[in-house]
Chain A
Amino acid sequence: MKRWLPLVLFVVLVGFFAKGLFLNPREVPSPFIGRNAPAFTLPLVGDANAAFSPADMKGKTWMLNVWAPWCVSCRQEHPLLMQIAQSGRIPIVGLNWKDKDREAAPLLARTGSPYVAVPEDLDGRVGIDYGVTGTPETYLIDQAGIVRLKHIGPISPEVWKTKFEPKLKELGA
């Protein structure tokens, strides 16, 4: 029986690998899920006198989309965000992350903006508070200001349908 042991161990290993293929090791669950979204106050892009704070969105279910003009995969999700914004389903706030060259305003003027507000996180400090690992990342925040969902990477129509829609229904938004 002993001689079959290597094969048996290997078969078990293959089982784990097969399962592992469908998991994403990079997707680390956010510790903020179920907790209050960290507070911040940041100036708005193009209007340094105006400011945005998550408290402004109290009573609404909204999305915080972390993006940057230099981020290529953010452009990938841009059309979908535009559609969502136009459907009026949910307001999107676009946190403009580490945009040192200040390219956000001209870019949004050119491509159209899906955002209700674009706060400017120049040095990325708010990003650190939220545990941002890269752009784009999207947080779904409910009426009470609690983070309900975090998505790393661009939102595809499929992700929207399978991840965001059910959560939105659950929240009654």
Chain B
Amino acid sequence: MIPELGHFALIIALLLALTQAILPLVGAQRGNLTLMAVARPAAQGQFLFTAIAFACLAYSFLTNDFSVENVARNSFSQLPEVYRLTATWGSHEGSLLLWVLTLGFWSTAVSVFSRHLPEDMAARVIGVMGLISVGFLAFLLTTSNPFERLLPAAMDGNDMNPLLQDWGMIIHPPMLYMGYVGFAVAFAFAIAALLSGKMDVAWARWSRPWTTVAWAFLTFGIMLGSWWAYRELGWGGWWFWDPTENASFMPWIAGTALIHSLAVTEKRGAFKAWTVLLALVVFSLSLLGTFLVRSGVLSSVHAFATDPARGAFILGFLAVVIGGSLALYAWRAPKMVTGSGFTWFSRESLLLANNVILMAALGSVLLGTLYPLFIDAMGLGKISVGPPYFNAVFVPLMAPALFLMGIGPLARWKDASLPDVVTRMKWALGVALATGLLLPLTLDGFNPWASLGFFLAAWITLAVLAAFIDRLKHGQGGLLQKLAGLPRGFWGMQLAHLGMAIGVAGIAVVANYSTERDVRMEVGSYAELAGYTFTFRGTTEHDGPNYRAARGTLEVSQNGKPVATLHPEKRIYNASGSGMTEAAVHPNIFRDVYVALGEQLDDQGAWTVRLFHKPFINWLWFGALFMVVGGFMAASDKRYRIALRRSEVPKHLAAQGA
């Protein structure tokens, strides 16, 4: 009964999405306020019914209703409750439902926080988001119904993929989708602007906070995914350039570019056409990522069941949405007049350079990800593109971008003075160079890449410091007062940039100074790595809720002093019989000590054990968290709220003026 209710709710959601898409768009075109007024309630209703459908599916999972095919395939009676809940979005169907739910959430958020917009703009934005909802709801209902019954019911389920049974996976997909799908708002704003023909500065101001929030969520989602892969795959790696990872990374790169070009468009009215195009591209990349992961055109660690009918549906949808929006862009682009000019050295030109570099980096990732597909489609063979390509191309591209990151925020709009910036940053350059050259010497030998990383991290950090000093020189009051008086937009930007510096420092160390050993360990034997002594105390049988495990005990000590006792596990899951390595990690701010069990070698209890020493790995996650906090902070800047309050009074004027 409950699954049927869910199915029914999904159908109602589709009908509401159709209403949300068609009536407001027609209304906006004809200037009909009654039709435009349908947008908000329809969006909220669509979200409500999608949420009901989602709740029904979650209920089926929680109550182990194995007469629902999706539950039987992806859950198991012994699965702990929290994973039964997360199994709701662990399957292809469930994760698409989460996608639609997230889109409904964003549409509702827009419907609530768009009171200050001219009616036709709000109606168009919500209508465009409705169109996207229609596509995905139709996709769910026609090819991927999550409520499909299985008759007769299965005795028990196949279990959730053991890799996903981890708490990082509980919040990773929702966060990632909040980011992915959140870019739909910027996309809808861009389409609405193109439709109305009014691509003014106001458009950029409205989309900015939405874009920044989506970007912050995506950053958090990617960070969680990376952290999960690091702990769960048992190889000690944190980024694999897997197509699925790239699928989330490409919108992030483009989104980063968009945040910066939106700043120029809002403040200076420049790059209008480019910013609109970028907003279209970012969400197109989100859709592209969905297509790549769902259709199975690329092989990846994310082994969802693939089905050509589904792939064909998404591709068709992709062609309509992206093709349509790019055609609209090509048609309307000539109407966009660019703002005031700027000289070769100004904040505009530096942000332009940022965009150019980010686009080149995006292109290189896109090419590497799709290259195997191109080659295969042209019948030239089967190849795969791995980390060597990406590292060789991506790192040299990002280095100049990181360097410019130090100068950009210090340069003035329109026309900056190069000698002035040079004078102000001379000392910083010197200190950063010295750091880059000397710091690697305190570590395990000199390495040019680590040196470059340290230089850039120090450079960005000092630039952040210089920006603060610059701001604090003026104004009155005590230091704390002045700090509190700085706009949140400034704080947000500096925090995010500092986060980048922290992350870069972390990557420079972990990529160049990590050590690992594969050793054969008997009970009582020990091995050394990076100054730590690992003593193997054997394994014991251990029963989990839905698995059996061999649980190892390793005592870690340094200079004779005990540091930690670690319990890595080798698990066999009851339902699927598949094996899983559960690594054990002892973290601190300067390093992780990481152990994973390999294979049992004999009856005496000898095992192969993998030992890792990962210095500064946690800086990566800290850096990402700084960026997330920075993003949210920037989006909550007073300017946006003032704009909101101000426009509440002369609403009819705003509608007329727009």
Which of chain B's residues 459-501 have a Cβ closer than 8 Å to chain A? none
Cα distance A14–B377 in the bound complex, in angstroms: 12
Contact partners of B374 in chain A: CB under 8 A = 16
Contact partners of B295 in chain A: CB under 8 A = 17, 20-21
Main secondary structure of the interface of A (DSSP, over half): helix
How many interface contacts (CB-CB < 8 Å) are there between A and B?
69
Interface residue B422 (Cβ < 8 Å from any Cβ of A): no
**Which of A23-31, A42-50, A74-82, A157-165 lies at the binding interface?**
A23-31
B370 (CB) vs chain A CBs: closest residue: A16
Q: Using a Cβ–Cβ cut-off of 8 Å, how many residues does chain A contribute to the interface with B?
A: 22
Interface residue A110 (Cβ < 8 Å from any Cβ of B): no
Contact partners of B291 in chain A: CB under 8 A = 17
Interface residue B312 (Cβ < 8 Å from any Cβ of A): yes
A29 (CB) vs chain B CBs: closest residue: B382
Interface residue B657 (Cβ < 8 Å from any Cβ of A): no
Whether A25 pairs with B297 at a CB distance below 8 angstroms is: yes
Whether A18 pairs with B577 at a CB distance below 8 angstroms is: no
Whether B329 pairs with A17 at a CB distance below 8 angstroms is: no
Known pairs A4-B330, A14-B323; A20 contacts B297 (CB<8 A): yes
Chain B interface extent, by class:
20 to 34
Contact partners of B323 in chain A: CB under 8 A = 7, 10-11, 14
B325 to chain A, nearest CB (A): 9
Known pairs A4-B330, A19-B377, A29-B382; A14 contacts B372 (CB<8 A): no
Of B295, B297, B334, B577, the most chain A CB neighbours within 10 A belong to B297
B312 (CB) vs chain A CBs: closest residue: A21
Contact partners of B297 in chain A: CB under 8 A = 17, 20-21, 23, 25
Interface residue A70 (Cβ < 8 Å from any Cβ of B): yes
Which of chain B's residues 272-305 have a Cβ closer than 8 Å to chain A? 273, 277, 280-281, 284, 291, 295-299
A13 (CB) vs chain B CBs: closest residue: B370
Interface residue B575 (Cβ < 8 Å from any Cβ of A): no
Known pairs A10-B323, A16-B373; A21 contacts B311 (CB<8 A): yes
Whether A25 pairs with B377 at a CB distance below 8 angstroms is: no
Contact partners of B326 in chain A: CB under 8 A = 6-7, 10
Interface residue A169 (Cβ < 8 Å from any Cβ of B): no
Whether B322 pairs with A20 at a CB distance below 8 angstroms is: no
Render A83-118 as a binary contact track against B, CB cut-off 8 A, 1 for contact. Answer: 000000000000000000000000000000000000
Specify which of B308, B322, B373 is in contact with A10 (CB 8 Å cutoff): B322
Cα distance A7–B280 in the bound complex, in angstroms: 11
Whether B333 pairs with A3 at a CB distance below 8 angstroms is: yes
B363 to chain A, nearest CB (A): 11
Interface residue B12 (Cβ < 8 Å from any Cβ of A): no
A136 to chain B, nearest CB (A): 17
B318 (CB) vs chain A CBs: closest residue: A14
Whether B315 pairs with A18 at a CB distance below 8 angstroms is: yes
Whether B330 pairs with A16 at a CB distance below 8 angstroms is: no
Whether A20 pairs with B330 at a CB distance below 8 angstroms is: no
Which of chain B's residues 352-385 have a Cβ closer than 8 Å to chain A? 370, 372-374, 376-377, 382
Given A6-B280, A25-B298, 9 extra CB contacts under 8 A: A10-B323, A17-B297, A17-B318, A17-B373, A20-B373, A21-B295, A23-B297, A23-B377, A25-B297
Residues of chain B touching chain A, judged by Cβ–Cβ distance below 8 Å, are 273, 277, 280-281, 284, 291, 295-299, 308, 311-312, 315, 318-319, 322-323, 326-327, 329-330, 333-334, 370, 372-374, 376-377, 382, 577
Cross-chain pairs A/B with CB under 8 angstroms, 25 sampled: A3-B330, A3-B334, A4-B330, A7-B323, A7-B327, A10-B284, A10-B323, A10-B326, A11-B323, A16-B370, A17-B297, A17-B315, A19-B377, A20-B295, A20-B373, A20-B376, A20-B377, A22-B308, A23-B297, A25-B298, A25-B373, A25-B376, A26-B299, A27-B382, A29-B382
Residues of chain A touching chain B, judged by Cβ–Cβ distance below 8 Å, are 3-4, 6-7, 10-11, 13-14, 16-23, 25-29, 70
